[in-house]
Structure 1
Amino acid sequence: MDKNGWPTFLSDPSDIFELYDRPPALGSCDLFYVHIDERETSITFGFETRQPPSRPKQKWKEKEFNSINFFLYFTGTSQLRINGWGCPGQKNVDILRGDEGGMNVRVSSDGSHIEFRAESASIAHVRAFLAASGS
């Protein structure tokens, strides 16, 4: 998969394309949040990027910001496998079309590996903020 092709897996890609002409590659973002909800069979990843949006929201223009957080919400998840989880930071993120529909998601780095199947993906939340230097 094209490293920037992840928006094609979203149920509504306009959620990210409203902000970016070319969204950041997931592997270039810091993966700072992982939430696994076995009751809802969902997994949420939180990413942070310093890549400024092409079209920032009007309310963001009214304040200083240098960082964007966005959350990918995967539903209908199954076949979850985790083999270690290291510190937050940049990870290799691969999303591939599943043989029987849906998608296969794999996140890895030294000491970290998580993979699962998901039926759908969406953007759950996006926010802009002023992050401290060096973070």
Structure 2
Amino acid sequence: MDNATWPTFLSDPRQILDLYDQPPALNRCDLFYVHIDERDTSITFGFETRELPARPRQKWKKKPFNSIRFFISFTGISRIRINGWESPGEKEVEISRHGEDELTVHVTSKASELSNASDLAFQAESASLTHSAAQLMAPGSGP
């Protein structure tokens, strides 16, 4: 996947394209949150980036900020496969179209001194940006 094209897989790409001319590549973001909800058959990823938007929301401009958090929720999950999962670790995120009605999502983590290699893969019916927020992070922390 061309990492810059991930917004095209969202049900409403404007949710991120209204903020960024060039959205941050998911592989350059910190995947800090993964929530698997078996009741709603959904998986939510939380990403954090220091790549600031060209057009921040008006309410964000009221306070200083140096990072953006955004959450992508995948619904209609099937064929989930998890092979270990540890944090911290550099994660590689790939989203692609599988047929006309499904997305394939694959997250891999390289082995490091602190963790083993791992991966998470699944099919999803849809993806949407569910929340985004600006925040002020301490120097030297985060992505």
In the superposition, the TM-score normalised over structure 1's length comes to 0.96
2-structure distance, mates of 1:98, 1:26: 19
CA contact (8 A) 2:105 2:122 kept: yes
- Residue 4 of structure 2 corresponds to 4
Code of the residue aligned with 1:68 in structure 2: it is I
Partner of 1:129: 135
Q: After superposition, give the CA deviation of every residue in 1:66-106 in whole Å (9 maximum; x if it has no partner).
A: 01000000000000000011214531100011035211000
Indicate the SS of the match to 1:43. Answer: strand
Question: Counterparts of 1:12-51 in structure 2 under 5 Å?
Answer: 12-51=12-51
Say which of 113, 125, 137 aligns to 1:119: 125
C-alpha distance in structure 1 between counterparts of 2:18 and 2:30, whole Å:
21
- What is the match of residue 78 of structure 1? 78
CA distance in 2, matches of 1:98, 1:80: 14
Instruction: Flag as ranges the 4+ runs of structure 1 deviating above 6 A.
Output: none
The equivalent residue for 1:64 is: 64
CA contact (8 A) 1:31 1:89 kept: no
In structure 2, runs of 5+ residues without a counterpart are 111-116
1:102 aligns with 2:102: yes
Return the offset for 1:112.
2.1
1:58 is aligned with what amino acid? Q
Give the secondary-structure state (helix, strand or coil) at the position aligned to 2:56.
Answer: coil
The 1:89–1:47 alpha-carbon spacing in structure 2 relative to 1, beyond 3 Å, is farther
Aligned length: 135
In structure 1, what is the Cα distance between the partners aligned to 2:106 and 2:140?
27
Q: Is the CA contact (8 Å cut-off) linking 2:89 and 2:109 kept in structure 1?
A: no
Which consecutive unaligned segments of at least 5 residues does structure 1 have? none
